[in-house]
Structure 1
Amino acid sequence: METLRSLVGDPAPFLATAWGRQACLLRPPAPLAPPVTLADVDAVLASGLLRIPYLELVSQGKALEQGDYTSAHHLIDRSFRGYADTAKVMGHLDSGATLLMRNIEHWHSGAAALVGRLGAELSRGVEAFLFVTPPGRKGFDSHRDDADVFVLQLHGSKRWQVHAVPEDGRWQSGPEPEPGPVQLETTVHAGEVLYVPRGAPHSAVGHTDGLSFHLSLTVRQPGTADLRTALTRRFDEGLELPPLPVDPVELRRTAAALLDHYRERLAGLTPEALCAAAETVSASKAGTASTGPHRTLANLAAALGG
């Protein structure tokens, strides 16, 4: 639990009192080494290879039109749309828009390593999202996320309002115009971590002291859809039936075989086993991030004597 410890301090009291229950501001025992920097963001924007849906610009709760901050690349007599246009992106940031960069673990090795370690410790799928917000500006209105979120403030500060977690499972992720009473209102400064439980409505405004830059680590939890997927996969295991029965007799025989197969697959299946299978489904949605050493072209050249 060393990665979790670097975020929350002693994991035991955090998991016992806060996890899944209430938002809290955390001050790690040692200063966090930023896993990603503004220079990294500048570099990937300048590369010209960042493309929709890896980035989005939002302002005061509304998403900007993609064509307002992207351009087309022309290659081999073809046109490919949706690439980040650095000049346009920076122009919208100057005007107060928030830059969101999704799943940076797909292209940033430091974020990939962090996501991989935390996911292994929690046995959950973890993803990494970057937010760059100008002073005094808000990107998203109050909304719910279908994930527990660790907000790592890397530069500047941001003012947050977090509301209570849902009372039961009858809620949806997305905008929440009626979030209820505020449970926690706080300013998160560089080096601090905010924990937001799954489903708790929240919103944030960049502090007036400068640009806010934070990394959100989202920890996915299984839900009803994952239970259904896990059950369907169990039903399909070892199922061999004729795809097109030729007459009513064969159709009835196929129906009987299908029911027998389902009864056999259900026999002995416990809620605990189905939940465990659903956790695997949920984790797979976030993909995987390798935490081991990566081969490089320089390594290959050296090995070949080049």
Structure 2
Amino acid sequence: MSNKLTIDWDDFLTNYWQKKPVILRDAFSNFIDPISPEELAGLAMEEEIESRIVTNKNGIWDANYGPFIDYSHLGEENWSLLVQAVDHWHKQAATLVEPFKCIPQWQFEDLMISYATQGAGVGPHIDNYDVFIIQGKGCRRWQVGDRNPNYKQFSAHKALLHVEDYLPIIDEEITAGDILYIPIGFPHNGVSIGESLSYSVGFRTQTSQELLSGFADYVIDNLPNGIFYQDPDLKLPSDPYRIQPYELEKLKGQMIDLIKNPALFNDWFGKHITMPMHELNIIPVDPAYDLDEFEEILQSGAELYRVPSIRIVKIDDTAYINGNKIPLPMETIDLLCESEVLYYEQLQDEQTLNVMLEFVNLGYWYFDEE
């Protein structure tokens, strides 16, 4: 099963990306749902998979977090099941992410899937990320407002942050194969017409505050010798209680120099940004393969599969995966990025075999036993 996406990416990036919302009609022609509502409900029964049920009964909002064992009490209207990071756990659903891999992958978060009954939704809200909402089975009516920093938000429930009324700039229904793109900061509300499935491909970046905090932790751990302020040309000030402007500039300069140090910043960012935002389906090998056993399995024709949506990025001549540096030449790293399946003929040199042995034992790649 493979759904083909048709988007003029140059036009889209020029006119819409992080600028304004748009409905892309029939972006997936003859769309086929890669997952059934029953399969989605089954995933929501698993402890390690993030899920929630949102209800709006008689105007009262409620939200509960999984895992869920039973759905029979919910009725046939006004409830939604939302499951995060389905691309980590369901191979066919993960194929929906493939067409969006032309967008910088360090910004990709996950594929969230929503099953909704008649009248269901999560209420009017604002997301802190960009999202492509692919309509699958059924139909939804979407109302999207303009971006405005003065919107008031309020808690309709302790787990639901809603936004006050807004004037829609989009008020339309979307059906199977349509995509609604919503940039960060635009209020929106989707209501299901009958039963429906929606697939949200999300792109999220961290705030500068979060990044600064993460980098500070890395510097503390990786620079054991502290950098102290020093002023060997000190002159006695007229007011010793006043911090001088040059002193403030010097302090800021010392801190900025840490950020401008590529050996520090690039290594931190590569490790930091490849850590998963959601639980991954990673199962370390136990007992671990030794090199001879690993090579023998590969030589027998076994194929190596990369764990779906594990994060890989390249920075200069180095690459990172799941918080680890990949000690391989860029030619081989390109192969690891671009190939979902690897074969022995691609991995024969000693360095590559040893590195891949480590990654397979960690659970980043695995042998398909089907």
Query: Which TM-score tier does this pair reach, normalised by the shorter chain?
Result: 0.5 to 0.7
- Which residue type is aligned with residue 51 of structure 2? L
Work out whether residues 103 and 129 of structure 1, in 8 Å CA contact, stay in contact via their aligned partners in 2.
yes
Larger Rg: 2
- Could you say which residue in structure 2 is the equivalent of 1:25? 23
Describe the superposition over 1:7-26 as per-residue Cα deviations: whole angstroms up to 9, x where unpaired: 56100111111111111110
Specify the code of the residue in structure 2 equivalent to 1:128.
Answer: L
State the 1:195 CA deviation.
Answer: 0.5
Distance 1:189 1:35, change over 3 A: closer
Range 48-57 or range 170-179, more displaced:
170-179
Q: Which TM-score applies when normalising by structure 2?
A: 0.57
Structure with larger RCO (C-alpha < 8 A, sep 6+): 1
C-alpha separation in 1, matches of 2:46 and 2:109: 21
Q: Supply the distance in 1 between the matched residues of 2:208 and 2:55 (Cα, whole angstroms).
A: 32
Give the match's secondary structure for 1:289: coil
Q: Which residue of 1 aligns with 2:174?
A: 188
Match 1:11 to one of 9, 12, 34 = 9
Structure 1: how far apart are the matches of 2:213 and 2:253? 17
Give the residue type in structure 2 aligned to 1:149: V
- For 1:28 and 1:177, the matched residues in 2 are separated by 29
Structure 1 residue runs of 4+, over 6 Å off? 170-174, 257-262, 272-280
Structure 2: how far apart are the matches of 1:23 and 1:222? 21
Counterpart pick for 1:221 among 202, 205, 226:
205
Q: What amino acid sits opposite 1:146 in the alignment?
A: N
**Aligned pairs (5 A) from 1:115-264:** 115=97, 118-119=100-101, 121-123=103-105, 124-135=107-118, 137-167=119-149, 175-207=161-193, 210-233=194-217, 235-236=219-220, 238-241=222-225, 256=228
Q: SS at 1:145's partner residue?
A: coil
Larger proportion of helix: 1
Counterparts of 1:47 and 1:53, CA distance in 2: 7
What CA RMSD, in Å, does the superposition of the two structures yield over aligned residues? 4.2
Residue 112 of structure 1 and its aligned partner are, at CA, apart by 3.2
* Structure 1 residues 16 and 255: CA distance shift in structure 2, 3 A: closer
After TM superposition, list the pairs within 5 Å mapping 1:34-45 onto structure 2: 34=32, 36-38=34-36, 41-43=37-39, 45=41
Specify the alignment match of 2:52 in structure 1. Answer: 56
Structure 2 SS opposite 1:98: strand
1:112 correspondence with 2:94: yes
Gap change, CA 1:264 and 1:34, over 3 Å in 2? farther
Q: Which residue of 1 aligns with 2:340?
A: 292
- Checking the alignment, whether the CA contact within 8 Å between 1:130 and 1:216 is kept in structure 2 is yes
Q: Distance in 2 between matches of 1:47 and 1:239?
A: 43
Query: Within 1, Cα distance between the matches of 2:15 and 2:100?
Result: 19
Report the Cα distance in structure 2 between the residues aligned to 1:212 and 1:37, rounded to whole angstroms. Answer: 12
- Report the TM-score when normalising by structure 1: 0.68
Compute the displacement of 1:176 (Å): 3.5
Q: Give distance in 2, aligned partners of 1:223 and 1:22.
A: 21
In structure 1, distance between residues paired with 2:214 and 2:7:
34
Q: Which amino acid aligns with 2:228?
A: A
* SS at 1:9 equivalent: coil
